Structure 1
Amino acid sequence: MSGAGAPKLEIDASGLQVAIVVTSWHTEITDGLLAGAERALQKAGNDTYEVWRVPGAFELPLGAQKAIDAGAEVVIALGVVIQGETPHFEYVCSSATDGLTRVQLDSGVPVGFGLLTVDTAEQALERAGLENSKEDKGAEAVEAAVLMARL
């Protein structure tokens, strides 16, 4: 889901055991993503979710797996990786994406993908669900994962 073409979805998250796994880097951005995810969950009737903090994006897949092992029926993975001067960006983005996909497919538990992979901090802020942001990727990750849980 991206940009102006993102659908506005009605979801029902009531009764679901939800874990939000969020990275610790770039807290202004990740706190915005987390706030958007929390707003979306609460609007959808769920205020009993748990927040799991992990060090960085590379740790998101294991954090998601641990949340599932602890009983999560839906996982929302949130974080940001900002392009730097080395290939580190590509490795971390690929590993996190592949890992979250593997966790989702191996477990059958939906994982909402709210990992921003951007060139600049400004691009991340535009997507972080903050007051002046154009997009709320935290909320979109919740919508996608909850809809998959309800299939």
Structure 2
Amino acid sequence: MTGLSPKISTLDEAQLKVSIVKSSWHPYICDALVSGAKKALDGARCKNVSVHKVAGSFEIPLAAQKLLDAGSDLVIAIGLILKGDTPHFDYVCQGVANGIMQVSLTRNKPIGFGILMCDSLEQAHQRAGLSEGQENRGFDAAIAALSLALEYEGI
């Protein structure tokens, strides 16, 4: 899937207030995803970017809601949920995905979904752009949120 990310303009992005919310779990992976998101934001000339840590991915929807309510124009959610031997993975993944969608819809603002839900650390490593030729899902999440913010700005 390398090279398939959409391209966005760089006209007014500098005016956007962007918040990145990242899980504290799996810092090596999450830091790589944040770096990818920042690369996309830098390419779009976004200067007003802040990074906020939460304990785990389950806390991201509430943090995103608070940041949007405090004036952020968009949020990029970054985390990693690894599959284990219990159904916990399924509950957390569903709760996080539903929570992020609910916050985005009720606040009418985009949230880039950069939360990896993987069967192994190897999969996470690939999706965080840490393997040669692999795209960074943090970058992709930032592009998705920026594209939506710009396309529907003022509507």
What TM-score, normalized by structure 2, do the two folds share?
0.91
Kept after mapping to 1: 8 A contact 2:128/2:135: yes
Structure 1 equivalent of residue 39 of structure 2: 39
| 1:116–1:103 Cα change, 3 Å | same
The answer to whether the aligner puts 1:97 opposite 2:97 as a matched pair is yes
TM-score (norm 1): 0.93
Supply the distance in 1 between the matched residues of 2:49 and 2:87 (Cα, whole angstroms).
35
Residues 54 and 83 (structure 1), Cα distance of their counterparts in 2 relative to 1, 3 Å cut: same
Tell me the distance in 1 between the aligned counterparts of 2:45 and 2:84: 39
Q: Which of 5, 8, 21 pairs up with 1:7?
A: 5
| Pairwise CA distance, 1:135 | 1.6
**1:70 CA drift (Å):** 1.4
Corresponding pairs, count: 149
Gaps in structure 2 of 5+ consecutive residues:
none
Alignment of 1:1-151 (within 5 A): 3-4=1-2, 6-12=4-10, 13-130=13-130, 132=132, 134-151=134-151
In 1, Cα distance between the equivalents of 2:122 and 2:138?
16
Between the aligned residues of both structures, percent identity stands at: 42
User: Which secondary structure does the structure 2 equivalent of 1:79 belong to?
Assistant: strand
SS in 1 for 2:48: coil
Structure 1 residues not aligned, in runs of 5+: none
Q: Deviations over 1:7-66 (max 9, x none)?
A: 341243321000001100001100000000011101110122010111111001001001
- Aligned residues: CA RMSD: 1.4
Cα distance in 1 for partners of 2:84, 2:23 equals: 18
